[in-house]
Amino acid sequence: MIKELIRYLFNSIALIILEFKPEISKEFDSYQRFALSIREEWEKLDIEFNESGLKFDSEYNSIIKIISHFLNITKKINEKLNKNIYSGMIYSSPNFNINEKESLNIENIEDLYGLIMKKTWFWNSLHPIFGTINYWMNRKIVEYVSKMYGSEKYNSHNICGIITTGGTESLNLAARMYKQKWIREHFNRNFIKNFIFTIIILYLNYVIISESILYMSSITIIFSWILFKRSTRCVIFAPKSIHISLKKAEEDFEFDLVHYENINDLRYLIYFYPNKAAVFGSYPSYALGNQDDIETIGEFCKQKKIPFHVDNCLGGFIFTERSRKFLSKSSGITSISIDTHKNGLCPKGSSLLLTKEGDKKHEKYFRYCFYSYENWEGGLYGTPKFQGSSSCVETISTFYTLLLNNINFYEKESQEIQKTTFDIKELLIIKLNATIYTLNPLNVIAFKIEGLPKYANYELASLMSKRGYCLSVLKDEILHFCITHQFLHKAIIYNFTNLNKKNDNDFINLFINEIKIVINELKSKNVESFSSESKVYCNADMALSHNLSDDKLEYIFGPTALRENIKQFTLSNLNPYLLNQ
């Protein structure tokens, strides 16, 4: 209360200074007025994402209108930048003299990306001028995507969100958000409660058990440690299948990550750990592609008033009856993370964290994403995510990609991907007798071919890559295949060039037959074991550059992959320095 009063007084004093110091007011207003005028220009366009979308074809005027509007606004901004010298905002000397008639010759989305990059690569997202455009587009993207997940029937204005650089940042930002919320709302209460509890225990020990000073000192140390742990570290519950990047958040933000197997396990753990900050789930999980019981977990969290985050990065834009209700008012989900650069087909480096905001104080979440520092000598500093200043290119490119790809397109692609995934699963079982680890496939299949020599599945993946199918390799010889828009596109081309074939699954059958050929080839070698190349989700050159010992390389890359093998495995020709170490 006192802090808010002081802040109010400082703001009032600032307004009085602006009133009586015209030179300061003029400089302040010039920034704000120009920024607001630019925002008004965007709002005049009144862009609405709809089911029909926009086309590059000349018979549609919408895309030409939007590109012209974009060029007019960037021209105003860049002319202002060309006239003035801005301290610490622009370090290079961009070429502002671009022929706009040539720029309007946009034939595909790649041309549009080039135009966006050419016009805005030097824009600073934290600057008042560019920030208004960046955050306006951010808001439009949030509204559009949230409607796909059920917010339209609820209220899209109750949805907040921010564009991040990828699924890792979205997931980690959600973890930090719930950690900060727990600290603000529960830390003081828990500290006082645990402190009183400790004092009572110490008193009972002193009166009833012993008056020994040594004994009391040891008891005091033990309970002080318990008090500290119970009061300063919250707990986030997540399934064992959650993306491993959440471990980064656990290390960085100092909370306890507790894994649960199923809803029954979660019910028990909730009572065992008092400092519960949030529950996380996956839809689907990254490795095996399994879906957590989102509805049951959400209903349980809603009853217990515990925030519930769903990691939907891998399954974003793959719509089901379940996912369409994620952000509805009745669901127990409070936030979701979605990668727009995966099935949203946006440029790499864009993801979304969406939060469902309620009317009550304890139902506010997004505010806890913000970093805000008032007493820095550089002035007030605040950002809504880990990054400080960042490029505006990703946000603008994502905005136009979603604008051009319509809702009907995403729905159609979603249905095709799910159907293709199901067909591949059935054929793997029927034709190859494979063990399927994905219980209810969405867009991922995890499988293993049984009856082969040791590490033969790794060799299978290696040989399949030579045939043009690059499968991901997991531990325990499990193979992972994610069906994407690229797979569908190649299937269309293949089936179109083979019109005489009647089977709708021609390309899928071709894929399965290729696996079958490789399996027969492996069986014919009559060996007991193949070399092991377990999943490497890092840069192998990076591991070598840190001079890791053979046993550590063995731990990272598999039991038979020693230093010399790894050197051959990496792109050593691009890094000859490492070969000489």
pLDDT beyond 80 at 163 = yes
- CATH number of the domain where residue 458 is located: 3.90.1150.10
Place of tokens 């002081």: 6
Give pLDDT, residue 500.
56
Asked if the model's pLDDT at residue 378 lies above 90, the reply is no
Under the banding of pLDDT at 50, 70 and 90, the label for residue 213 is low
Paired with 481 in beta bridges are 445
- pLDDT class for 514, splitting at 50, 70, 90? very high
Contacts of 15 (CB under 8 A, 6+ apart): none
- Give percent of the chain with pLDDT exceeding 70: 65
In this structure, the answer to whether residues 184 and 299 fall within a common structural domain is yes
Is 399 inside a domain boundary?
Answer: no
Asked whether residue 219 is assigned to any structural domain, the reply reads yes
pLDDT tier for residue 542 given thresholds of 50, 70 and 90:
very low
- The span from the CA of 296 to the CA of 423, in Å, is 28
In-domain check, residue 462? yes
Are residues 197 and 231 both part of a single domain? Answer: yes
Count of residues for the chain?
581
How far apart are the C-alpha atoms of 448 and 456, rounded to whole Å?
Answer: 10
Query: What would the mean pLDDT of 274-289 be, rounded to a whole number?
Result: 92
Residue type, 189: R
Q: For residues 18 and 172, what is the distance between their CA atoms, to the nearest angstrom?
A: 40
Task: Give the Å distances, CA to CA, from 414 to 48, 335, 469, 532.
Answer: 22, 22, 21, 35
Cα–Cα distance between 581 and 578 in angstroms, integer?
Answer: 5
User: What pLDDT shows up at residue 57?
Assistant: 46
Regarding predicted confidence, which is higher, 259 or 2? 259
Sequence-distant (6+) residues with CB within 8 A of 14 are: none
pLDDT band at residue 454 using 50, 70 and 90 as cut-offs:
confident
DSSP of 17-57? HHHH-HHHHHHHHHHHHHHHHHHHHHHHH-----SS----S
The residue among 284 and 58 whose pLDDT is bigger is 284
Q: Judge whether 135 lies within some domain.
A: no
> Both 443 and 545 in a single domain?
no
Of 131, 152, 162, 166, residue with least CA distance to 48: 152
Mean pLDDT across the chain: 76
Instruction: Assess whether 170 and 257 both reside in one domain.
Output: yes
Lowest mean pLDDT among 211-220, 276-285, 367-376, 525-534: 211-220
Burial of 311 (0-12, 13-18, 19+ CB in 10 A): buried
d(CA 206, CA 200): 10
Top-confidence residue, 348 or 211: 348
Q: Average pLDDT for residues 428-448, to the nearest whole number?
A: 93
Q: Are residues 346 and 197 in the same domain?
A: yes
From CA 231, how far away is CA 186, in angstroms rounded?
A: 9
Please give the Cα distance from 485 to 573 (Å, whole number). Answer: 32
Residue from 418, 472, 420, 416 nearest 446 by CA: 472
For residue 256, list its beta bridge partners. Answer: 235
Residue 573 reports pLDDT greater than 50: no
Confidence of residue 62 (pLDDT cuts 50, 70, 90): low
Using 50, 70 and 90 to split pLDDT, how confident is the model at 275?
Answer: confident
Same domain membership, residue 343 and residue 237: yes
Q: What's the mean pLDDT in 268-279?
A: 89
d(CA 148, CA 465): 35
Higher per-residue confidence, 194 vs 182: 182
Which pLDDT band holds residue 294 (cuts at 50, 70, 90)?
very high
* Domain C-terminal end among 383, 401, 420: 383
- 397 assigned to some structural domain: no
- Whether residue 532 is contained in a domain is answered as no
- Is 292 a residue whose pLDDT tops 70? yes
Best mean pLDDT range from 367-371, 447-451, 505-509, 557-561: 447-451
CATH of the domain at 351: 3.40.640.10
| Residue 279 and residue 211 share a domain | yes
Which of the listed residues 498, 523, 548 is the one where a domain comes to its end? 523
Please report the beta strands in 88-213, taking only residues with DSSP state E, as ranges in sequence order.
159-164
Q: Are residues 497 and 569 in the same domain?
A: no
284 and 202 belong to one structural domain: yes
Q: Considering the domain boundaries, does residue 347 fall inside one? A: yes
Task: Give how many domains the chain has, as a whole number.
Answer: 3
Largest Cα span, the chain: 94
Residue pLDDT, tens place only, 242-269: 999 999 999 999 899 999 999 999 999 9
With tokens 């917010």, the residue in question is 151
Residue that wins the pLDDT comparison between 563 and 417 = 417
362 plus 418 within the same structural domain? no
CA angle in degrees (0–180, nearest 5) for 403-410-157? 60
Q: What three-state secondary structure class fits 308?
A: strand
What would the mean pLDDT of 544-564 be, rounded to a whole number? 49
- Read off the pLDDT of residues 384-406 as tens digits, 9 standing for 90 and up: 888 888 888 889 899 888 888 87
Same domain, 168 and 260: yes
Q: Give the whole-number percent of the chain exceeding pLDDT 90.
A: 30
pLDDT per residue over 405-434, tens digit each?
878 889 999 999 999 999 999 999 999 999
- Top-confidence residue, 104 or 272: 272
Do 54 and 403 meet the contact criterion of CB atoms below 8 Å apart? yes
Mean pLDDT of 59-71: 66
Instruction: Determine the structural domain holding residue 575 and report its residue range.
Output: 540-579
* pLDDT value for 570: 45
Average pLDDT over residues 499-507: 63
Tell me whether residue 282 is exposed, middle or buried, using C-beta atoms within 10 angstroms of its C-beta: 0 to 12, 13 to 18, 19 or more: buried
Average of per-residue pLDDT across 305-331: 91
* Residue 422, in any domain of the structure: yes
Claim to verify: residue 291 and residue 431 sit in the same structural domain: no
Instruction: Kindly indicate the confidence band of residue 166, based on its pLDDT and cuts at 50, 70 and 90.
Output: very high
Task: Quote the pLDDT of residue 169.
Answer: 94
Strands 235-239 and 159-164: unpaired
Contact 363, 352 (CB under 8 A): no
How far the first Cα of the chain sits from its last, in Å, is 61
Spatial CA neighbour of 290 closest among 340, 245, 241? 241
pLDDT tens per residue across span 120-139: 888 888 776 777 778 788 88
